[in-house]
Amino acid sequence: MKKRSWFQDNWLALLTGLIVGAAALLLARLGNPGNMGFCIACFERDIAGALGLHGAEAVQYFRPEIVGIVLGALLAALCFREFRGKGGSSPLLRLILGMLVMIGALVFLGCPLRMVIRIGGGDLNALVGLAGFIVGILVGVVFLKKGFTLGRAYGQSKAEGAAFPALLTLAFLLSVTGLVGLFRSSESGPGSKRALWYVALLAGMAVGFLAQRSRFCMAGGIRNAVMFRDFGLVAAFGMVILTVLVGNLLLGQFGGFAFEGQPVAHSDGLWNFLGMTVVGWGSVLLGGCPLRQLILAGEGNTDSAVTVVGMLLGAALSHNFKLASSADGSAPGGHTAVWAALVILLLISLVCTFAKKKEGTK
């Protein structure tokens, strides 16, 4: 067998990084908030707001990007015969982990994808977040190596696998046609800043399709580099930063690297760090970052669909109980929530690593 070169194995991941970066630049240019061409956590938070799960008026909008990502992944999975209903691997724990990841992300103000987009935009707070994210991943990897598992998933019906993409699409159609005034929509604040819906939808679909094919994942990149010396996905991660940085320079909108005055960001270093520690740790336990959960949900994985629902609930909690940060800084409630999240992550990690071993030795 001829040995495949590194590039042959990883060109698709690099291309995905390039397209994700370019799409993020485009969407921010066309109206999305600054350094927020894509942000899975923020956009799911906006959807939670549109659904009325929280009452923060500045962040309510049924973001077409999220729908596009799921539909793009669904399309890719159907084209390549990878769509299958699958689930049953600790759904409730995944729901809780999804909530924790969202709470951590909203203390930092971004998912791992927005973190790299922020870095490419010159936001140094995101570098602090990256350090926290890496620490979280490393802690998660320690438990993975000791045998952490959420258990096996089992085959489910196609209907079960299709339920989440179908429900999301239906809700989106109701929102976009405006036939019924069901959903809330921000008139000011980040939720009111938006690219044209069909451009956002198409950009999401392109990203979803490519990310499904390349298994693009922000947490998986660092994890695979540490655990298996496999650098394909982490290179894609770097590619997003590079694309966004070069793009911002070319578009003349790069204002240099700085901590202060960054769009939809704050400079509370400790909470940027710890918020992303929660996200990194939780994502490794879940087997993928928030973007990857959307992709898997599009492939028919109901455990990931449940995780996304957990993230919507986490967003609701964050805004209903004032845990989320704002551009003014982190909130006291968020500090407590991050400590609580770290304790819960530790408990879940310990129980799912060691309780299972005991069972195995019976």
| Residue with smaller CB distance to another protein, 300 or 314 | 300
Query: Could you tell me the smallest distance in angstroms from the CB atom of residue 220 to another protein?
Result: 7
359 sits near another protein (criterion: CB under 8 A): no
Considering only residues 58, 134, 189, 230, which one is a binding residue for another protein as defined by CB under 8 A? 230
227 sits near another protein (criterion: CB under 8 A): yes
> In this chain, which stretch among 66-74, 143-151, 166-174, 192-200 interacts with another protein, using CB under 8 A?
143-151
- Helix axes 290-298 and 269-286, enclosed angle (nearest 10): 30
| Residue with smaller CB distance to another protein, 46 or 303 | 303
Could you give the C-alpha distances from 46 to 56, 78, 122, 265, in angstroms and in order? 9, 28, 24, 16
H-helix or E-strand spanning residue 225: helix 218-228
**Residue 14 and residue 239 in contact, taking contact as beta carbons nearer than 8 Å:** yes
17 sits near another protein (criterion: CB under 8 A): no
| Residue with smaller CB distance to another protein, 154 or 339 | 154
What part of residues 80-99 is at the interface with another protein (CB under 8 A)? 80, 82, 84, 86, 89
HEC assignment per residue over 149-213: CCCCCEECCHHHHHHHHHHHHHHHHHHHHCCCCCCCCCCCCHHHCCCCHHHHHHHHHHHHHHHHH
| Residue with smaller CB distance to another protein, 16 or 60 | 16
CA dihedral sign of residues 148, 154, 158, 163: negative
Query: Could you tell me the smallest distance in angstroms from the CB atom of residue 271 to another protein?
Result: 29
| Residue with smaller CB distance to another protein, 192 or 353 | 353
**Alpha-carbon span 299 to 358, nearest angstrom:** 33
Which parts of this chain interact with another protein (CB under 8 A)? 1, 3-4, 9, 80, 82, 84, 86, 89, 144-145, 149-155, 215, 220, 223-224, 227-230, 232, 287-288, 303
